[in-house]
Amino acid sequence: MDEQEKKMSLVKEWIHKAERDLFTAHLTIDNKPEYTDIICYHCQQAVEKYLKAYLVHLDTPFERKHDLDYLIDLIVENDKEIEQFYDIVETLSGYAVEIRYPDDWSEPTMEEAKTAYKIAIRIKEYVIKRIGIE
């Protein structure tokens, strides 16, 4: 396998993992909508993984962080249009770590969970289009 094939394989692995997070959020919305924290967490995770897939595609190294702004900062160097997502990913930022612990957090509303899901879908569509895969 040459370097290009290895890179594409890694991109697809990131997307595969992102798809699982997004599907988990979707299943939870449909079957356990009261689990809004889980929905929001998986939406944040999906976006993080889609952005990491895009970074691999761009040959841009990244640190193992859960910071969506950091990931977009790295992408902006090659794709200025992604700046449009800074504001909406801010909505997801607290769902990476804080929401997983019982101290000092509040349960997201169903509206917040649905918004998180819509954001994840938008980022997915953007990244998939930019990478050029289905």
Reported as a single tens digit per residue, the pLDDT across 2-37 is 998 999 999 999 999 999 999 999 999 999 999 999
Which pLDDT band holds residue 91 (cuts at 50, 70, 90)?
Answer: confident
Are the CB atoms for 108 and 116 separated by under 8 Å?
yes
CA atoms within 13 A on the CB side of 62: 25
**Residue 101: DSSP 8-state:** S
Length of the chain equals 134
Distance in angstroms (rounded) separating the CA atoms of residues 128 and 134: 7
- What is the model's pLDDT at position 104? 63
CB neighbourhood size of 132 (10 A):
7
Instruction: Kindly tell me if the per-residue pLDDT of 42 is higher than 70.
Output: yes
Distance in angstroms (rounded) separating the CA atoms of residues 116 and 81: 21
The amino acid that residue 29 corresponds to is I
Where helices occur in 32-109 by DSSP H, the ranges are 36-57, 68-76, 86-93
